[in-house]
Homo-oligomer: A and B are copies of this chain.
Amino acid sequence: MNDFLNSTSTVPEFVGASKAGDTIGLVIPSVDQALLDKLHVNKQYKTLGIISDRTGAGPQIMAMDEGVKATNMDTIDVEWPRDTKGGGGHGSLIIVGGDDPADARQAVQVALDNIHRTMGDVYNSPAGHLELQFTARASNCARVGLGAVEGKAFGLICGCPSGIGLVMADKALKTAGVEPIAFSTPSHGTSFSNEGSLTITGDSGAVRQAVMAGREIGLKLLGELASSEPKNDFPSYIK
């Protein structure tokens, strides 16, 4: 189960990496000011922690949300490359800023430690994928990256191809008294990914139920399209 890569690196900027999503964790203790001026960050800090990956944005954002909860780091940029190595979704670039390199390293390490968990409700098939996320209390990475309300429950219901995500979203909103934050589609709110993604907030139990309702119909629809059961690589955490 341990897919973490060798971390006996001699490069001080390297924190760790995981085969899950081809995710790398990095730290820049004191960033060059000329580079900082060229970055599109919402606040300037000299010390940066970085999570960057090929496959997955939601899992890495929710993993870093634990990283910022555990430290004093601020999320200052979340970007969404259209990647997934031929799949229909996103990779991510997440930058957190602060004043203490040890704190940055700790935030990145906590994020890496959470990747397997937050990948638990990503379901893959040759025809597409589903992603579900849930937290009872969102922090600043979920806010910057996904529009979550800090301190409140947050859920993500996502399906690829995007039409499946649309039906999942409809089912989720009909199930429980939750409030939609946004619904993203290929041309609106994504980087042209082939996903329909609903984000929701509200009472913690209701958000969880809505996420599970979306998952249930998503698994059936993607199963119909793929002629095979969509599979998660890590154990589901939403139950």
Within 33-60 of A, Cβ neighbours of B (below 8 Å) are at: 34-35, 38-40, 48, 50-54
CA distance A85 to B129 in the complex (A): 12
Q: Is the interface of A mostly helix, strand, loop or mixed?
A: mixed
Stretch among A112-120, A132-140, A182-190, A231-239 lining the B interface: A182-190
CB–CB A88/B13 < 8 A: no
Number of A residues, CB within 8 Å of B = 73
Of B11, B52, B188, the residue contacting A161 (CB under 8 A) is B52
CB of A76 closer than 8 Å to a CB of B? no
How many identical chains are in the complex? 3
Say whether A97 faces chain B, with CB atoms less than 8 Å apart.
no
Asked if B187 and A38 make an inter-chain contact with CB atoms under 8 angstroms apart, the answer reads no
Question: Is A79's CB within 8 Å of the partner chain B?
Answer: yes
How far is B220's CA from A227's CA once the two chains are assembled, in angstroms?
36
- Provide the residues of chain B in CB contact with A39, threshold 8 Å: 183, 185
Contacts of A64 in B (CB 8 A): none
CA–CA, A35 to B173, complex, Å?
Answer: 7
Our pick among B32, B81, B198, B225 for the contact of A194 (Cβ within 8 Å) is B81
Besides A35-B169, A93-B194, 20 more A-B contacts (Cβ < 8 Å) are A6-B227, A11-B217, A13-B217, A14-B220, A24-B225, A38-B182, A40-B188, A52-B161, A52-B166, A54-B128, A77-B185, A79-B162, A79-B187, A81-B193, A82-B82, A83-B161, A85-B88, A91-B194, A93-B166, A191-B192
